Amino acid sequence: MKIKKLVSIFIICQSLSGCGLAQKMESDKQYKEQKKEAVFSSSGMKALEYVLKDDKITASEGGESLCKGGCSLNDAIDKANNNALGITAFYVAIHDYDGKAPSLYKIEDPSVRNPTMAEILNRFSAVFGSSILSDTGHSSDLYRDFSKDREFLGLNNVSELDFKKSIAELYKRRNEFVISISSMRDQARYNAEQIEVKRMADYDKVNPEFAVTELGNVISIEKAPALRKAFNSMPFVTRTPNSTDPRQVYAKIGKYKLTLNQVEISTKELLTECQRVSAYTGLEIENPCFNQVGNGLSNFASIIKNKSIPDLTKNTALGEATFGRIIDFDHAARLAKMHQEMCSRKNNSGYAAMVTVAVPCSGHGDVLYISVAEKAGLL
């Protein structure tokens, strides 16, 4: 009886031990699956996958791709496994990527894909251009995480010494990597801009501009004949002739659109100020003040129509004469005329100062703004 009892206990214990081992194996399996999922769902990995999907699409469209027919993730891992530097660069790219995981929504649409690619590549450029790669503490953290993650990624093992040497090499060659990645980023930005230009051209073709005239005739203020004349002189246009939204009516100054809404707000503020000053002083200056506002807007209208004045000059003058919601149109007109006169005295070469910025003259090739202080050597 005792022997039978001992045998039964032994069998039960063996069963329980086997069951515990099976549970441990299952738990380890689940942990590894969860860890692998965490690695592949990281924002850096999702960004890399987006780049590879773009590569596939580019290849299918006959464009230049990283691999013949486009790279798969396995292709990228195989290329990385060629040497320690490749393995390290691959891991650094996905580990140090700083940004949200890109969405694959509408990736087939170039107008969505190109801006997304530009943003991803910009962040990869920041990864390889970062000074943190020279931080020994960060290198140690990278290797610690690499040791935990590499098996899930399919990356070959690299000794800590070789891994850190590779990080030092990446830092040494950071300019080379940044230039290469930035070149691809700039191409993606250019592609996005071209798509937007075409989209706008198609929209403009379907929705041509119509001149909006005689807006001044609706101004009923008897004290504002100059204001009525000014609104009638503004070269307003619209692409939505049936709309009553003043934001859809605008005067073009190069690529900038000065909306009727902006002109109305500024005019209303200026006229209110005329009334305030008149009431404060007790003098009847409302009529001449209204006319001054109208004459100022007429002066700016003539500047807009003057093709001898560059659009950059007009836009800059407008910006210099904008104070919050109020645009001093007469001030803008005078600044533009002043700039044109100053440029003509120097044969339209170089820069001429306005108020806070120096703007290139029409004969100058550079179109960058330079602050007056910087131009004068004060900064």
Range with the lowest mean pLDDT among 36-50, 156-170, 305-319, 354-368? 354-368
Residue 314 has pLDDT above 70, yes or no: yes
- DSSP codes joined into one string, 236-292: EEES-TT---GGGEEEEETTEEEEHHHHHHHHHHHHHHHHHHHHHHTS--HHHHHHH
Residues 6+ apart with CB under 8 A from 362: 310, 313, 343, 348
Residue 190 has pLDDT above 50, yes or no: yes
Q: Given this model, what pLDDT does residue 83 score?
A: 96
- Cβ(16)–Cβ(85) below 8 Å: no
Whether residue 3 has pLDDT greater than 80: no
> pLDDT confidence of 138, banded at 50, 70, 90?
very high
Q: What is the rounded CA–CA span in Å between residue 360 and residue 349?
A: 8
Kind and range of the H or E run holding 323? strand 322-323
Query: Given a cut of 70, is residue 93 above it in pLDDT?
Result: yes
Residue 1 pLDDT level (bands cut at 50, 70, 90): low
Q: What is the pLDDT of residues 56-68, one digit of tens each?
A: 998 998 888 888 8
Q: What's the whole-number average pLDDT of the chain?
A: 86
pLDDT band at residue 11, thresholds of 50, 70 and 90? low
Over residues 168-195, the mean pLDDT reads 93
pLDDT at 13 over 60: no
pLDDT at 364 over 80: no
* Residues in a beta bridge with 358: 353, 370
Beta bridge partners of 237: 211, 250
Section 102-121 average pLDDT: 93
The pLDDT, as a whole number, for residue 373 is 36
What is the predicted pLDDT for the residue at 252? 94
Query: For residue 230, with 0-12 CB atoms within 10 Å meaning exposed, 13-18 middle and 19 or more buried, which class applies?
Result: buried
pLDDT digits (tens, 9 = 90+) for 202-229: 988 888 999 998 888 887 777 678 888 9
Q: For residue 372, what pLDDT band results from cuts at 50, 70 and 90?
A: very low
Predicted local confidence at residue 99, as pLDDT: 87
pTM attached to this predicted model: 0.62
Predicted confidence (pLDDT) per residue in 225-277, tens digit:
888 899 999 999 999 888 889 999 999 998 899 999 999 999 999 989 888 88
